[in-house]
Amino acid sequence: MTGWASLRLHGGNFFDGLAPDGRTRLPVQLAVGRSGAIRGDSRAKVSREPLHPDEIVTAQGIPCTAVSRAVFDEMRRAGGVVDAVVAIDMAVAALLVSVRRVRAYAADRRRWRRSTLVEKALDLASERSRSPNESRTRLIWEVDAGLPRPLVNQHVWDLRGNLLGIADLLDVEAGLVGEFDGADHRAAVMHTSDIGRQEKFERHLLEVFRVTGLDVLHPGRVVDRIVFHRSRARWLPPAQRRWTIEPPRGWEVEQSMDDFLDERDFLNALHAEFERNPPDLKEVRGW
């Protein structure tokens, strides 16, 4: 298995085998290599592109492609650049891969089918997105509205170091916050939290707009909303702002995705080595 099915087996829960409409079932992608004799049908799409033995791993007891190959294949399967961006964003959100790792993998396959789509999507990817529609909202902001790339899931503090909230999207220069409200935001507790966070932002002179899943289906509507609220934003110079994105003293700096993955790979390799060659406890303890 490769593509979405492989990513699901690796732990990518957003890869549910459904198209963006949430109803249409996607065929499972099978990578069989040049010598594979399996034929595809409506349930499975077969790829006979080169498949190196190093790209084959086992997840949940099922042979599948390694993460970078799975992401590469899923991005190429996507219907367009937006869905390709969602694929890489959600693979990163699942802590499976980094943009740099996929870019390095794709760089050696520039002549493969639809590889240019992967390159375009990687340029628009974010390692901080946390949901598919959050990524789609960001792309409407950046691509459809043609506005500068916003910060994603950005912590915002007041000038005394109190956390005001985490903005889904933030235009620092304008002082504009964009919030995506998914289905989980309809619950009373979450909705109350959203209102409280918006009030904190607005009391500190940040302009806020909100987007829902239905809005995302109409990009023009979202563009109009972004442009309108951006025109209402205060555009205050740093010295006059009542908020900041500079973390207060003692705030733990967030680890980069590449550093996180490198550390995890090292620990996994160390664990595997101990499994193969258990240390002599007498020697370890100095007996």
Query: Could you count the other beta carbons within 10 Å of the beta carbon of residue 141?
Result: 24
Angle, in degrees to the nearest 10, between helices 67-77 and 99-107: 80
Average pLDDT over residues 7-18: 96
pLDDT of residue 185: 47
pLDDT of residue 278: 86
Q: Alpha-carbon distance 168 to 207, whole Å?
A: 13
Count, residues in the chain: 287
Q: What is the pLDDT of residues 213-245, one digit of tens each?
A: 999 999 999 999 999 999 999 999 999 999 999
Confidence band, pLDDT 50/70/90 cuts, at residue 212: very high
- The predicted model scores a pTM of 0.91
pLDDT of residue 15: 97
For residue 119, pLDDT beyond 90: yes
Residue of 240, 154, 167 whose CA lies nearest to 197: 167
Q: Alpha-carbon distance 174 to 180, whole Å?
A: 19
